Structure 1
Amino acid sequence: MWIMAFHLVLSVSGVYSVKSTKDCKLLSHSPLQQKVLERLEPLVGKNFTAEDKASNESYTYVFQLCGDAGGAPNAGVIQVDKKAQKTTVIGKYTHTQAIGGSDWVMLIYTNGEKYDAHCNKEERKAIIMISCDRNVKVSKLEVGLEEREKEENCFYLFELDTSSVCPVIESKLSTGSIISTGSIILIIGFSLLAVYLVGGFLYQRVIVGAKGVEQFPNYAFWVEFGNLAADGCDFVCRSRKREESPAYRGEATDNLQEEPEERDDQLLPM
C-alpha cells in the first residue's frame, strides 16, 4: 500500500512517470513513423549499454528508447568517457526519425552535441538498427561503427536484435482464408463427432447396459441408414436394368409356379 502511494506521488510530481513511444518527438509528424515506433513499445524505459574498445580510447554507450539515456535529459544515446569523466550526447529522442521494414526498424536520433574537430563540427547523430530475432526477447547493444571521416552526414551506428519487430506468423492451418475457414469447420466437426461417439458409447454401456455392437450410439438407426444408402447407391450407380420383382406387383412368388397343362385330348370320347 505504501509503495503504491509512493509511486503515485512521484508520478504526479513528475519525478517518476510511465514512458511510452509517444515521448519520442518526430521531426515530421507522420502516422506511419508513429506506427513504426509502436512496434518498439516493449523496449521503452530500458537502458542498453555497449562497450567500444576498438579504438585507443574506451567508451561506454547508453541507449534508451524515448527516454533519458543514463539520466541525461532528452538524450536518446550518450557516450561516456570514463577516463575523462565526460558524457557526450550523441542524439536526442526529441529529434527522432523512424524507418521500418517487415522485420527491422531503423531509429535515428539527431541534434546531438557538435563534433570538436571532425565532420565540419556538425551535430552528432545516432543510428540504431533494430533487427528481428525470434530467439531472443532483446539482445545486447552492439557498436557498429563511427563514421566521422567525412565533411558531413557523420553518424554512430548501433545494432540491436529483438523479437518485438518480427512479423506475425500466420496460422499454418492453410494458406488462404477460404481454406482456413474450411479447416476450422473440419476441426469443429471432428470434435463434435468424437464427443458424440464417446458420450454415446458410455451412455449405452453404463446407463442402458448394452453389450457388443449395440454399445454404438443409435446402432439401429445407423444400420437402417446404411442399408438405405446401399440401396440408393445400387439404384443410381448400376447401369444394368433390373427386372421388377413380382412381389412389388402384389403377387406372391409361391403362386407363380406353372400350373399343370390341361390336355384337351382327355375330353375327347374314347
Structure 2
Amino acid sequence: MLLSVRIITPLFILLAGVQADLNTDNCKLISSSESEQNTLRLLEPLTNQEFIAKKQQPEPYSYIFQVCGDVGGLKNAGLVQKNEKDEKLVLIGNYNQTRAIKGSDWIMLIYEGGEKYDSHCSNEPRKAMIMISCSKSDKDNFSVVLEDNKKKVGCYYLFELDTKVLCPANSSETTQQTPSKLSGGSIFLIVVFSCLAVYLTGGFLYQRLVVGAKGVEQFPNYAFWSQIGNLSADGCDFVCRSRGNRAEPPTYRGVATEPLGEESEERDDHLLPM
C-alpha cells in the first residue's frame, strides 16, 4: 500500500504541473480585471504552442510568440525578436505585463515591458500587440504587420494571428439554417410595387416619346384614373344603397295622380246638339 502511494503521488504532481501549463494563469494582467481574465481563458487552446513569423527587411528577423509561456528560454518572455544572422534575441513583450481586449470574434493581446529602445521612441520599453482573429482555416497563421517606431512615444510592434479557436461554435451551420425573414405578404407587396413601378415608368415613356403627350397627359391611362373617384362613388351607390324601398308616386285605378290645376278655359259646348 505504501509503495502504491509513493508511485501515485509523483504522478499526481506531474499531471497537476502539466494541467497548470495548459492554462493562462501564467499571464499577469496589469489591470487584474475579471473581464480580462475571462478573455484570457478563451486562449487556453493556444497555450504551449510557438508561433513564428519571419521578416526579411531591413534585416532578416524571426518573431516567436507564445500565449502565456516562455519563449527562447527567457523568463516571462511572451514574444521575442531573433536576428537570423547572429541569433541574438530581443525581448519585445513580457506576459507578466499583459492586457487583453475582447471583440465579437477577436482578441487583442498586449505584452508590455520589453527591452528599451536604444536611440528612438524616447528609450521606452518595447511593446507587442497581437491581434488574434477568427479564421476558418485549419492551420493557424502568424504574421508581422508593422513596427511603429517613428515617433517619440507610444511605439509598438503589431502582429496578426488567424485561428479557428475564436470562431463562434457552429457559426456556418447557424447561417445555413437561418430562415428567410420575409413573409408571404411582404413578398406579395414587393411584387405588386415592382409591377406598379414598371407600369408607371413604361407608360410615362410611351406617352411622352410615342404619343407626344405633355403635362399630366403623360400619366398612363390618365382619362381612366381621373375618373376613378366618380367610378368608385357610383359603385358604392350601386352596392350599398337599396333601390326597392324608394317611394313611388301614388296611383288610383291605374291612373297616375297629377297635380290639380285650374280647369282649362276651353269649353266643349260645341259638342252638344243644337
Q: TM-score range by the shorter chain?
A: 0.5 to 0.7
Select the residue among 121, 129, 136 that pairs with 1:134: 136
Rounded to whole Å, the distance in 1 between the matches of 2:45 and 2:164 is: 10
Task: Decide whether aligned partners of structure 1 residues 15 and 164 sit closer, same or farther in structure 2, where only a CA change above 3 A counts.
Answer: closer
Which deviates further from its counterpart, 14-23 or 123-132? 14-23
Q: Which amino acid aligns with 2:33?
A: S
* Residue of 42, 47, 52 corresponding to 2:45: 42
Match of 1:104 among 94, 103, 106: 106
Q: How large is the Cα RMSD of the aligned pairs?
A: 2.9
Q: Superposition pairs for residues 170-185 of structure 1, below 5 Å?
A: 171=174
1:21 to 4, 24, 49: 24
- Counterpart of 1:43, as a letter, is L
Give the 3-state SS of the residue equivalent to 2:38 in structure 1: helix
Q: Runs of 5+ in structure 2 lacking a partner? A: 1-6, 180-274
Distance 1:15 1:35 in 2: 21
State the percentage of identical aligned residues: 47
What is the TM-score of this pair, normalised by structure 2?
A: 0.56
Larger radius of gyration: 2
Give how far 1:8 is off.
4.2
**Contact 1:142-1:160 within 8 A present in 2 as well:** yes
Native 8 Å contact 2:22 2:44 kept in 1:
no
Structure 2: distance between partners of 1:10 and 1:100:
34
Gap runs ≥5 in structure 1: 176-270
Aligned to 2:152: 151
CA contact (8 A) 1:127 1:157 kept: yes
State the partner residue of 1:63: 65
Over 3 Å counting, the alpha-carbon distance change for 1:31 and 1:9 in structure 2 is closer
Q: Which residue of 1 aligns with 2:222?
A: none
Deviations 1:167-190 (A, max 9, x none): 233756667xxxxxxxxxxxxxxx
Partners of 1:133 and 1:62 in 2: CA distance: 20
Q: 2:47–2:66: 8 Å Cα contact kept in structure 1?
A: yes
Pair 1:113–1:135, CA change in 2 (3 A): same
Q: Does the Cα contact within 8 Å between 2:91 and 2:114 map onto a contact in 1?
A: yes
Residues of 2 paired with 1:150 and 1:85: CA distance? 27
Please report the TM-score for the alignment, with normalisation by the length of structure 1. Answer: 0.57
Q: Superposition pairs for residues 105-254 of structure 1, below 5 Å?
A: 105-139=107-141, 141-168=142-169, 169=171, 171=174
> Measured at CA, do residues 80 and 16 of structure 1 come closer, stay the same or move farther in structure 2, by a change above 3 Å?
farther
Number of residue-to-residue matches in the alignment: 171
